[in-house]
């Protein structure tokens, strides 16, 4: 039982950390419902729809999996971050768990059957009490995450023994299923590669891949705060931004303003800001973009003015959205970095003043973006931008090592070279 606890504590490293438990409830709610009844309902739904539902579906295509380089994805964003390797590595195939939602790419990934996951749930109660004795409050708050995690490692270990991939490439290092796949690969000596796909938090697990392809110095500095860095580390910039680098915003004035919000933000605060801006700057076209997982209604927000439009994050990629903007306003979101990379002027604005989670990614502290603490502070920025928009993309150099270098816009090629070199050395 102690070995089970150690293994699952590693799998659930992020969500059962003290730092994560201390985050504001809005941040935790994105991972697990704050309402205990909703957590139990989620567990029940998971049991019926996935654990039992998976028993009656045959999803694996062995010929697509055996001996390949697996590009393991847990989201649509992961797919966007790794798809360049499908072209660069002939034996590469996108792989996901049986029922994992990969957005518009659901039909394009090879699936791993999770039928047998149900048979490992005899471990749940012993693990629950073990976690309860070590981390009582986190266990009660995130019991649904513990429940969901059961069996991933054991099933993935079986799959890796069966299909023996040449290597596994990850774009996520902290979700339970990705952690389980990583630990199973390490147990069998299968080479692993990590391609950073989003901004890093110092709450993440320590780097433990054979090859770590990071965007820039900021990421390495934060991972060093997480613990010892294992494996080779290389800076590659942001591959998913390559095709948009030549399309950087060159407009001199702000005409289109983006407001990007997420599950930590309060809709009322977003609507209030929209009312202020629409009243004082009726000439601006405003594109509102909720996070892909945000299911809340924004009908009232778009009804404030005919100049406000809604971007569907499930259909339009983040860079496609940013291409339409001259300026962005957002809270604690990695979209700030992506905006600045495209020379879109980005401003940090707190849409949840009730909870203190100031500058979570350190973008303000490191000069990537300005901060507007209130609408009166934001208003002169908007006035300035309408007169003369600043050029900002070089501010991203600390975060993205290729900006302003000959490799600017060539991150995919750089990452592919490092990955192919590792595979070639491994095959010798």
Residues 121 and 146 occupy one common structural domain: yes
Residues 123 and 256 occupy one common structural domain: no
Torsion of CA 156, 158, 162, 163, to 10 degrees: 10
Alpha-carbon distance of 270 to 352, in angstroms, equals 9
Residues 26 and 158 occupy one common structural domain: yes
Residues 162 and 303 occupy one common structural domain: no
Query: In angstroms, how far is the first alpha carbon of the chain from the final one?
Result: 39
What is the pLDDT, as a whole number, of residue 1?
Answer: 47
pLDDT tens-digit profile of 161-207? 999 999 999 999 999 999 999 999 999 999 999 999 888 888 999 99
Are residues 170 and 81 in contact, defined by beta-carbon separation less than 8 angstroms?
A: no
What is the pLDDT, as a whole number, of residue 357?
Answer: 75
What confidence tier does 358 reach under pLDDT thresholds 50, 70, 90? Answer: confident
Are residues 215 and 235 in contact, defined by beta-carbon separation less than 8 angstroms?
A: yes
Are residues 57 and 86 in contact, defined by beta-carbon separation less than 8 angstroms?
A: no
Residues 96 and 196 occupy one common structural domain: yes
Q: Is the dihedral of CA 59, 62, 66, 68 positive or negative?
A: negative
Residues 164 and 283 occupy one common structural domain: no
Phi and psi angles of residue 144, each rounded to the nearest 5 degrees, phi first: -65, -30
CATH of the domain at 263: 3.40.50.2000
Residues 234 and 266 occupy one common structural domain: no
Side-chain-side CA neighbours of 71 within 13 Å: the count stands at: 28
CATH of the domain at 37: 3.40.50
Residues 175 and 38 occupy one common structural domain: yes
For residue 405, tell me if it sits in a domain.
no
Alpha-carbon distance of 128 to 248, in angstroms, equals 50
Alpha-carbon distance of 100 to 175, in angstroms, equals 12
pLDDT tens-digit profile of 7-17? 999 999 999 99
Residues 162 and 308 occupy one common structural domain: no
Number of H helices, E strands in the chain: 19, 13
Average pLDDT score over the chain: 93
Residues 257 and 368 occupy one common structural domain: yes
pLDDT tens-digit profile of 287-334? 999 988 788 889 888 899 999 999 988 888 899 999 999 999 999 999
Q: 401 to each of 84, 149, 197, 220, how far by Cα in Å? A: 19, 35, 14, 11
Nearest CA-CA partner of 58 in 120, 105, 114, 107 = 114
**Cβ of 134: how many Cβ atoms within 10 Å?**
12
Answer whether 0.85 is exceeded by the pTM: yes
Give the number of domains in the chain. Answer: 2
**Cβ of 370: how many Cβ atoms within 10 Å?**
17
Bridge partners for 285 per DSSP: 256
Residues 274 and 330 occupy one common structural domain: yes
């Amino acid at each position: 039982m102690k070995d089970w606890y150690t293994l699952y504590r590693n799998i659930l490293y992020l969500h059962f950390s003290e730092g994560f438990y201390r985050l504001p409830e809005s941040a935790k709610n994105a991972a697990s419902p704050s309402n205990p009844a909703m957590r139990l309902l989620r567990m029940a739904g998971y049991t019926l729809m996935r654990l039992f539902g998976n028993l009656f579906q045959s999803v694996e295509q062995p010929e697509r999996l055996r001996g390949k380089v697996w590009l393991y994805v847990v989201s649509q964003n992961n797919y966007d971050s790794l798809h360049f390797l499908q072209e660069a590595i002939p034996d590469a195939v996108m792989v996901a768990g049986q029922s994992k939602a990969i957005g518009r790419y659901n039909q394009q990934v090879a699936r791993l059957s999770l039928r047998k996951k149900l048979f490992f749930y005899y471990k749940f109660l012993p693990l629950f009490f073990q976690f309860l004795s070590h981390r009582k409050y986190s266990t009660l708050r995130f019991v649904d995450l513990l429940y969901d995690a059961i069996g991933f490692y054991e099933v993935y270990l079986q799959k890796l023994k069966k299909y023996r991939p040449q290597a596994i490439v990850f774009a996520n290092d902290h979700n339970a299923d990705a952690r389980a796949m990583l630990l199973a690969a390490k147990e069998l000596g299968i080479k692993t590669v990590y391609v950073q796909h989003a901004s890093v938090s110092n709450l993440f697990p320590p780097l433990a891949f054979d090859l770590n392809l990071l965007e820039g110095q900021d990421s390495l500095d934060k991972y060093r705060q997480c613990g010892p860095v294992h494996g080779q580390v290389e800076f590659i910039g942001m591959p998913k931004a390559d095709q948009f680098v030549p399309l950087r915003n060159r407009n001199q004035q702000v005409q289109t303003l983006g407001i990007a919000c997420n599950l930590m933000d309060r809709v009322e605060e977003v609507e209030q800001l929209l009312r202020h801006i629409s009243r004082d700057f009726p000439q601006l076209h405003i594109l509102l973009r909720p996070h892909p997982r945000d299911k809340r209604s924004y009908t009232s927000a778009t009804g404030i003015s005919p100049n406000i439009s809604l971007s569907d994050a499930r259909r339009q990629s983040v860079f496609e959205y940013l291409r339409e903007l001259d300026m962005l306003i957002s809270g604690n979101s990695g979209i700030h970095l992506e905006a600045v990379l495209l020379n879109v002027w980005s401003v940090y604005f707190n849409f949840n003043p009730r909870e203190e989670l100031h500058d979570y990614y350190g973008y303000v502290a490191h000069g990537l973006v300005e901060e507007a603490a209130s609408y009166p502070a934001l208003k002169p920025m908007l006035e300035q931008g309408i007169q003369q928009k600043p050029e900002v993309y070089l501010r991203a150099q600390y975060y993205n090592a290729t900006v302003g270098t000959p490799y600017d816009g060539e991150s995919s090629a750089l990452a592919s070279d490092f990955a192919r070199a590792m595979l070639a050395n491994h095959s010798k």
